[in-house]
Structure formats: C-alpha cells, structure tokens
Structure 1
Amino acid sequence: MLCPPVSAGTGQGGHGGEPTRGDACPRPAADPMFRSRRAGLVRRLWRQRCAAAGPEDGPGALKPAAHALFKKLKDEELELLVQAVESRGACESGCVWAPRGEPRGGAKQALPPQVLLCRLYRWPDLRQPHELKHLCYCAGGRAGCGDAAALCCNPHHFSRLAAPETPPPPYSKVSCGPSWPDEPPFPGTQLLEFSYNGGHWRADTSLSRSTIKDGYWCKLAYWEHRTRVGRLYAVHEASVNVFCELPRGSGFCLGQLPAAHRSRAVRRARGKIGRGLLLSREPGGVWAYNRSEHPIFVSSPTLGPPGAHGLPVLKVLPGYSAKVFDYERVG
C-alpha cells in the first residue's frame, strides 16, 4: 500500500507539530479472518461450559467475567484452552497463562481466573482457590516457575481436594497386615497395591517429571479378586498414570494385562477404570488424582490419626486428589 507524502508544517507531521492520523500511513485493520477465527474459539469455549443447579450460579452469570478473561488471552492461549476443555483433560495440554488480578466484566462477584474457569468447566459449586490443588505437571504450581505477573488457569491443571469423611459400612476399615492384598475390601472389583520404596521418608523438594536417578520410588501391583495380575510395575519417574483407556497415554496400562478367565463382575469393574488415576511423588507426600468418571477408594496408614486401629479408607471423587501417603506421618 502506498502512503501519500507528508508535508511539513503545524499539524502536518513536520517539525511544527505531531502528524495527524490522516497524514501518516494508516495501520492496517485486523484481518477479518483472524477475528473470525478468534471468535470461533470463544464460541467453542462457551459451548463446553458446565450446566449448573440454579440460574443464580449458572454459566450465564459468569459470562461477562469469562468473556473479559478470554479477551486478555493470546490466540495461542485460547487454542490451548479449547484443546483442554474439549478433551476434558484426557489429553495433556500446556499451561494457559492469564494476567494476575481479577477479571472485570460486570460479574456479581469477581473470581480469580483459575477459579472462574474451573467453575465454568468442571465444578459449578467451586468457591475459593484453597479448594484447588495444582496437578504435578502444571508449571504454575511449581515454585520459581512461570511468570510472576501471570498464573495458569487451565482448568484441567487443577484438582479439588478430597476431604476425609466418616464412611458408612461396609468400607469403613480395611484389615491391616500382610493378608490385605489377598482380601480385597471391595469384592468383585480391582485393587491397586502401592508399595513405597526406601528407608527414608524425607520430602524431596527437587522433584520433577524427569527420571529419579536413585531408581524406582514405588512398585504397583494390580489385583483381581485374590489374584495378582501381571508383574510388579516399578515407577522411576515422579508421576505415573494408571489407566485402561487414555489417548496417547503412557504409564501402567491395565488394558494390556492378560485377560484370561475374568468374571463378569471384574469385566464390569474394569470398564469403569477408563482414564484411571495419576499417582505423583511430590514434596510432602504421594498424591493420587482420580482421572476416571467414577469414585475410587484409597487406603493408607497415614490417612487416619496416629495409633488408629486398621487402615482408614478414603473415597476420592472424580476430579479430586488426596494425599495418600504423608512423609511426616511415618517414622
């Protein structure tokens, strides 16, 4: 595009004054194709929102704040967010960095970006940031990582914290001792046995997803009724997926284990494993994140109070995390 010559003089772009908008080479307008592409991403994001119990807490009430946040995200961040919410966390996605501070959009109550998007796409009843936990692969949750002026708001980089409850029978206690793997607490279902390796229990603050040089830190065993299926699975990295169906998944795939002589109850239970769980060794303890669409039950000597009889069992709902092994609770 050719620009007309700029003449000198007051108001004409010379030494006598600032150039007027009409004298300078006009900036090209944003490409309509890019505008429509961005608008398409926003429409796809809005279609993926959760349904809510009541209109006062419904996604429509969050629309002004959500669209204000979308405007602050770069095109690359919007694409990452679309991938995350459309796959519902089945595929790993990168961090979605949003400026720190509360989005402004006329919403009744300003929410931090991570709470806003987690509430919009995963948990409509979510209220406070302290109800959330960064998953181990989120850079925003690691000290010294990320931009101080930005935070990750990818809703699938978070889990909710599982709170201990008083469970009703028959799963209130699991008998303690070596016989536990031979007597699964939930007949007809599977049991994943977790065995921590090492004579020390101190937290390692330098953990990452890289391979731990000292060798495996735990071994996993998979049981069906009273029979262990497959070999022990040694875990060398700081986190491991345990699953039956996971797109491009890596880790302990239960779907590849031998399938001979499985009862109908076992086949039915295996059909519910799906994306399974994520087991991660983090500073302070070992965490289990339920990636499946069904509750899981975990048992550990560090879940209950010191000196408690038997092993408490904790129900972990889909999308929730629990610290299944606490380094400070053992000798």
Structure 2
Amino acid sequence: MNIFSFNTSDPAVKNLLLWKAGAEEEKWALKAVESLVKKLRKKSGGCGTVEDLEFALGHPVSASKCVTIPRSQDGRLQVSHKKNLPHVIYCKLWRWPNVQSHHELKPIPSCRFPYDSRSEQICINPYHYVRVEQQSAPIIYRNPNGMNSANDYYHNSPIGGYNSPSSGSESDFMMRHQDQIQPHYFGMTPEDLQHSPYSNYTPSPIRQGPSPSAMSDDNDEQDRKSSLGSIVFHRPHTEIDDADVWCTICYYELNSRIGEPFKVTTPSVTVDGFTDPSNGSDRISLGPLSNVNRNQMTENTRRHIGKGVRFNCNDHQVTVDNMSQSTFFIQSRNVNYKHRYQLTTVCRVPSNSSMVIFDFDLFKSLLEGAKNEDYENVKELHNMCFIRMSFVKAEPQKNIVRYAIALYSSFTCIKFEENTKNKPVVNFVKRGGCFSFLGPLVKGNSQIVSLDDYCMESYLTPIHEIAHLLGVFHEHSRPDRDSHVKVYFSNTAKKDKHNFEKFSEETSLTYFKYDYSSFMHYDNRAFSGNGERTIDAVLPEYQRTMGNMVYPSASVFRSINQFYGCEKRCSKSNTICLNNGYPNPNDCASCNCPEGFGGRHCEKRAESVGVDCGRDFEATTDWQTINETLIRDLGPSPYPFYCYFHIKAPSNSTIVIRLKEIKMVCSTACSLNNLMLNLGSNRMIESIRFCCQSDATKFKELESKTNLAVLGLYSRNKNAHFVADFKIR
C-alpha cells in the first residue's frame, strides 16, 4: 500500500495509516483516521493522545495507555457510509480486518475505559482488546439418518395442528420407541426449518393461526452450507438399560452424526464447544470431536457454540440457557402448542437468555387425552417430543423483511414480488443504518432500503422504511405538526436537524388527523445531541406514544391506499365497516380494522397473538377491576405478543378508567411493551401508550369519549402487567 496515495497533508494521519492492517477502502480508512485525530486533538476529557496511539501501534508488545474518545448517544461511530462501535472500527483498521462485532473482542484487564464499562469515554486502543477465541461447534440440528419428524402429521389429533405430506422415512431409533411416548429432543439444520411465520398453513379448529412472535429460518443457501450440529434428547422408559438416563444427546454436522451419543444422568448438563478433555457427567465438550469431511464453512460455523447451552430438567419442565455469544434457534412443538403458535414455528434465543423447551405437565395431559386415540394420533405425541436447535451463521433477518412486505400486501394494493433474476425495483441492503430514499415508487426505477442488523430489533423498522419507499414522510414533519408537538432544535445534533423539517401540504400524504401512535413518528429523544428531549407532545398523555415500535398504525396504510388509488377498487362496494375501519382493497367484502378490532366488519375484539388473555367487559355503575399479566418467557423478539380488552357501557354513557398499577419495562417510547388505551371517537388515530408506574400515577383517571373503551397489552420482551378499575361515569 502506498500511503502517499491518501489525499492528506497531516503527518499524524499519515503515520497512523502506516499501521493499516487490511485492505479496507482507502477513502474510508482515511476518513476514519482523520476523524479520530480530530477528536483526540480537541477533546477536553478522557486520556491518551495521538502520540500515545502511535506508540501503541508501533510497540504492540509493550504496555500502552488508554486512548479514548467521547461515547456518542447510541455508542456507535459513523465513518462515511459505515457505522459501527468505535473500538470495533479501529481494531478492524489496525489489527483484525475481518472482525465484525464487539462480541469478538474482549478488553484486557488493565484497560480503564473499555466499551462495556458504559463510561462517558471509550478506549479505542486496538492493543487494549484481544480477540475472543470461540473453540466451538454450533449446535445445529439435523434429522439423523433422514428422520423427518419436522413434518406435521397432526390430523384429528387431540392436540390439533397442521397437515403436510411426509417426505422422509422414520429411523430405526424412532421405530423402536413408537409404542412408548417419551420426550425426545434433537436439532437440525436450517434447511429443515422451512416454515415462516406468515407462510401458508391450514389451522386446526382450536388454532387462531401462527404468531409472528418467533422466527423461522430464511433457508439461505449460505446458512444451509454452514450449519451443523444436532442434539437428540430422550426421556427413557423402563426398557432403557440405565434407568438414571433422562437424556441422550447426539451431535450432527450436516447429514452426519459426529461421535457417539452422550447419555445424561445429571439434572443439568452443559454442552459447549471447548476442548477440555476432563468432561464430567454434567458437561459435554464438542471441541475434540473430529470429522474428516469437515470443510471450512463448517469450521467457521462451529465457532458460534462457544460456552454453549445448558439444559436443566426438573419434574415439570426442561429449560435451556444460552451461555454463548450467539443467538440460537429452537423448534419445540410442545412449546409451540402451549403458546398457540404454528407447530413448526422456530423461536430465537439470544445470548444470555433462557427458554422453556418442554412442559411435562402439558404433555402428560395430552397423553391422558390420547388414550382412546388411534395409532397415528398417538404417534404425533411422540413427534412432539423432538426438539430441534440450531446455531446459524446469520440470523434469518430476511424473514422480518418478508413479514413487513406481507403486511403491505395484506392491507394495501401494493404488491412486492421477490426475484433474483431480473433487475429489482427495490434492493434491501446493509448500508450503515436504517434508511430509505423517499418514493413514491416509479416503474422502472431502482431504489434501496438499508437495514443493518440493529434495524431488525423490531419488525416495525422495515415497515417504517418501506413506507418511506412508498412516499410517506415522518408524521412529525407534517405541515400542521406545530399544533401537536413541540420540536427542540437546540437539543438536536446539527447533522440530524433535517429529520425534523416540515414539509408542505403538496408533498405530504396528510389525509387524516395527527397520529401520535403512527409508526412514522419519532420518539421524544430521537436524534438528541445532548440526551435531552427533541420532541414533546402538546397533549402530555401521548408523550410515550410517540415512537411506536409494537404495532403498525392503520392510518399509514390507509394513507398509502388513498395515495395509490387502492380504495377506488371498492368504490362500488356496499360493505359497511364499523369502528373507523374501511374496505380492504384486496377483498372489498371485508374490512381493514384499527388496532384492537377484528372480524370481517371490525365488529368485535381482535384475537390475541401468542398469549391466552383478553376479554370483553360490561361496565356498570359499580367499580370493576382488570388485573392482567401477559406472560412473555421466550426472550426478546422483533414481534410482539398482545391481547385486547373491550369495555362497553350503555349508549350515551362514558367509561371512567383508573390506572392502579403498571409493571413492565419502562422506556422512553414504550418500545418493548406497553399498555394501549383507545378512549376516543376515532379508533384509527387516538391510541395512547403507557409503560411506567409513573404514568399510572400521573394519568390516574381517564375517561372515554364514547361508550366503548379499548385496551391492549403488548410485549416484545418480558412480562407485562397492569391493574385498572372502571365503571360508568
């Protein structure tokens, strides 16, 4: 590399570029170093100078000082079109060109300002970090010997389910146990995890359809090649020689079982990817297992296991703890049945999270109900006992985008067709942030939507960016926004002020009244340059409603339908939609309903998703109480669980609601979970969201404008609980 090709006259920048380790784009490397030198020279706090950094790079084996820069609002640093954590950027530049994530880096003990310390300064000295060694093998699970228990055979079974044709033969292992019902668990590769949350399916009478609350793998060919590992557990019956064995674990790489099955007798067992030969009865290390056919792709995937997982068995359930630094995916028909998911749904378990993977009490009750069933139905209980798990190279983020697109296809006349052959109109890429160029889409033009990894924490982020693609501006950029919110430009970073500009009536899709709950609205601290609020709601009860990340607001979809002329399809329809619904342009005989309403004409309470809660109440002159907890024990998800409550009073009366208790994750925009209240006359735009006990104290008593009050309970992570009293005014 010729450093003099860089267009810079600063000798410090040139000296630092001498130590560039990889083949990073020269323009990007130059900007990264120039930005750093500027920060180091002008900073007033922290420690370390440009000279200290030059010493560290020139003397890698010597002790060196911390070299710090101020922590940004979100902890990340943007250089040109790339955005990442500062210490990752400079470790990538000067030490490890292939480092991708902070999970791969660990600070040395003498570092005073490591990234994980959450101090106001971040050390970016690349020699104050070491590369994490993950000697491991991902636990990726494939049906052994072609066993195809991923198929759904449930037909007239006591546990209901879905029908799909069998595509594989059962193994001898299954046949030996088919006359006895014992829990089995085993993993598979992503190619076996074929069902998306929104894929076609045939629900049984007792199912309400699949929840998007857990993700299926996207069947990406690269992931398929790099997946490996399998765990098979079984709870033995009396024919097993060792009566103390409750679990047998088998490890698979692609189609081949590696090593012998591990029999487990202890209540807790850890499966990791290390090479420690001193395995005890409560530990299984997969590192020493060899495979002459292992390729580089498989070897790379093995590194995801790390500290692995721990299985815990008691009299009531089996749980798994993810102790690795990678997310893993698990498919448990038992848990899916319990939570009313599609039986083939795949749940993700992030690092340092836990999940119940088998409920013995549920299984026992199902087994009791199957006593008089035929062979096929009883065999399905046997299939329920198999659990598949998989570490994959990348999370199946394509499915989140596909789900977002599916919502547009359901609620509007806009259709997206996925293809890889012709020139695409829309490219979903990773370009250093969450953004989209503003539409509307024009035939023949190609546009991009950038969705980096962190953009996938909520499925509403891709929905938000697709709305921009279709021509929708931010709600807080409406020409009438000053009547509804106050924007504090003094608290906004200079480079981000354009995000709060107002647009004219001619350029805005402003068909309805201001919607604080729109997923196109920023939260009250968005793009803050000093940590203070950038937006305040004129109506204080809507303060936490802004920045909605749990449910797609109906007003945006309807604006798109009007702008693109979709509603003209139903101009001759006689369909009557209640509660501010409107005819669905894809089926004029049914309606698109506001949040909390369902049925073909929005005439009833919407169904719950992922949980068994929600009900209808009749208000009287006496106080009544709602005391509800939404159970969310599957870990964080881009998709929420939710349920609704309708409180109805006689005509010409209103309802008083007193909030007593709100227990859930309290946050600026209630983005992880919240209590929704729609007490207005326009059901499409008047949703209020609370998530803190202080909300219940501040807005203790609320009154509906009509004789119907709608409440909703949402959670994308952890349990959500509230207590409220109500009566007729």
Q: TM-score, normalised by structure 2?
A: 0.19
Q: Relative contact order (alpha carbons < 8 A, sep ≥ 6): 1 or 2 greater? A: 1
